[in-house]
Amino acid sequence: MRIFLFLLIGCFSQHSFAEKLLILGDSLSAAYGMQQHEGWAHLLQHNTHWQLINASISGETTAGGLARLPALLTQHKPDAVLIELGGNDGLRGFPVATAKSNLNEIISLVKQHNATPVLMQIRIPPNYGPRYVQQFSAIYPQLAEQQQVTLWPFFMDNIATNSELMLPDGIHPNQAAQPLISEFVGKLLADLAPE
């Protein structure tokens, strides 16, 4: 009996997290091109007291994330949600207004479930034209101000320009970049206080 209780207590202590963070992202957070345990979210789990729930899917759009979110919120009941979406909308040339509307609904839905939304700035390559790129990038600070939510800087800003940290497609971070992203997000996460 004593052994059983010891094992039970040990099991709880190993999995005792203060808060849950749901990561709603695309291939940048889904360990694209590598094993899941090599991705930044998995690496970060070992260096934070947060319980990370990575619900990221390669190819995900803001519409797809919005459609999946209600079930994820009900299932996981997170304390905070990191919204890392929009890149695929931009790469496919979707209307800026549509992406902004979807992100706005995602933020509102997270709030309705008493969780803290965290919006990550997303950028797209400059070859999509300066006007579209500028309008797209502006979505994120605009929504952060309107919805009064935390805006995190894009974790790819210092990685996308380094070919040694990118896959041959020039869009996705490689395995060498994952620890750097993990460290970057970990520092931001350390300052996040859920409502």
Distances (CA, A) of 7 to 13, 14, 18: 10, 11, 21
Could you give the 3-state DSSP secondary structure of residue 158?
A: coil
The single residue listed with the structure tokens 């995190």 is: 152
Q: One of 13, 15, 169, 191 is an active-site residue; which one? A: 169
The SS3 call for residue 152 is strand
Q: How far is CA 144 from the centre of its chain?
A: 15
Residue pair 96/113 in contact (Cβ under 8 Å)? The answer is: no
Instruction: Respond yes or no: is residue 42 known to be catalytic.
Output: no
| Catalytic position from the list 26, 27, 56, 79 | 27
* Residues in Cβ contact with 156 at an 8 Å cutoff, skipping those fewer than 6 apart: 28, 123, 173, 181
CA distance 111 to 95: 25
Task: Name the active-site residue from 26, 56, 172, 182.
Answer: 172
Residue 145 identity: E
Tell me if residue 172 is catalytic.
yes
| Alpha-carbon gap, residue 174 to 71, rounded angstroms | 30
HSE-up (13 A, CA, CB side) for residue 82 = 31
The question of whether 157 is a catalytic residue gets the answer no
Catalytic residues: 27, 169, 172
